[in-house]
Amino acid sequence: MAAAAAAAAAAEQQSSNGPVKKSMREKAVERRNVNKEHNSNFKAGYIPIDEDRLHKTGLRGRKGNLAICVIILLFILAVINLIITLVIWAVIRIGPNGCDSMEFHESGLLRFKQVSDMGVIHPLYKSTVGGRRNENLVITGNNQPIVFQQGTTKLSVENNKTSITSDIGMQFFDPRTQNILFSTDYETHEFHLPSGVKSLNVQKASTERITSNATSDLNIKVDGRAIVRGNEGVFIMGKTIEFHMGGNMELKAIPSVS
């Protein structure tokens, strides 16, 4: 305040009587006040604080370990996502131009455009598996049988045999005329061998009668033992009846054989 008053008085005296010369002491005091004010500007708002008492930012302790676990989990998910993407790109071949291996149609049709390797196929209700027009549908099993199954009915195709298993019977149709070529529905019609089939190999047959054509013989051959049994009797009729066997022949009847 004294320095300010002295400066104001000097300015007033200078303005009235012209410039005033300052003594060495006044100049030293003025210089010291200027330096003091200049140095105080650098410390404006500065409060010395101990750094150890400051609030520490960041994740430490359990929060830090949890953050590391989350980062590792995200990294694993990213790797799995990358593997799935590579599989989709390499196997299904999905690219910018669409899927190179299959087509999806609005009607629900799924079309494979190349050779596909599958294990088990479960078609939906009333669905159809077929090939292209004028092209064959080739189904191949790698050293394993090809099995078509619906319920208890099963068709198995192997290298040296084809077997059909069904509890209710089977029928074969001509795809062009829809005529029945072969059927096991014996209640509505007699059983006839299809044209070109000369022999029938069965383990057990239950029927009312067995006949042959008028121009051919009826031959019944077995590798082991043959049993012919009738609930109401067995009648064998023919122009010539011959029995050829390697062992014994046994006839049983109640009450007699005639």
**Is residue 164 within 8 Å of residue 170, measured between CB atoms?**
yes
**Is residue 86 within 8 Å of residue 94, measured between CB atoms?**
no
Bridge partners of residue 95, in order along the sequence: 98
Domain count along the chain: 1
* Residue 183 belongs to some domain of the structure: yes
Instruction: Domain of residue 174: give its range.
Output: 143-197
User: Model's pTM, two decimal places?
Assistant: 0.39
* Residue 41 belongs to some domain of the structure: no
Tell me the angle at which helices 24-42 and 2-17 cross, rounded to the nearest 10 degrees.
130
* Residue 154 belongs to some domain of the structure: yes
Higher-pLDDT residue of 226, 156: 156
* Residue 164 belongs to some domain of the structure: yes
> Rounded to an integer, what distance in angstroms lies between the CA atom of residue 119 and that of residue 103?
20
**pLDDT tens digits along 113-166:** 777 777 777 777 777 777 778 888 788 888 888 888 888 888 888 888 888 888
* Residue 251 belongs to some domain of the structure: no
pLDDT-derived band at 3, boundaries 50, 70, 90: very low
* Residue 167 belongs to some domain of the structure: yes
* Residue 245 belongs to some domain of the structure: no
> Tokens standing for 41?
């500007």
Side-chain-side CA neighbours of residue 237 (13 Å): 5
Peptide bond connecting 175 to the previous residue in cis, omega within 30 degrees of 0: no
Min mean pLDDT across 11-20, 105-114, 141-150 is at: 11-20
- Over range 219-247, report the average pLDDT: 80
* Residue 95 belongs to some domain of the structure: no
Q: Is the pLDDT of residue 72 over 90?
A: yes
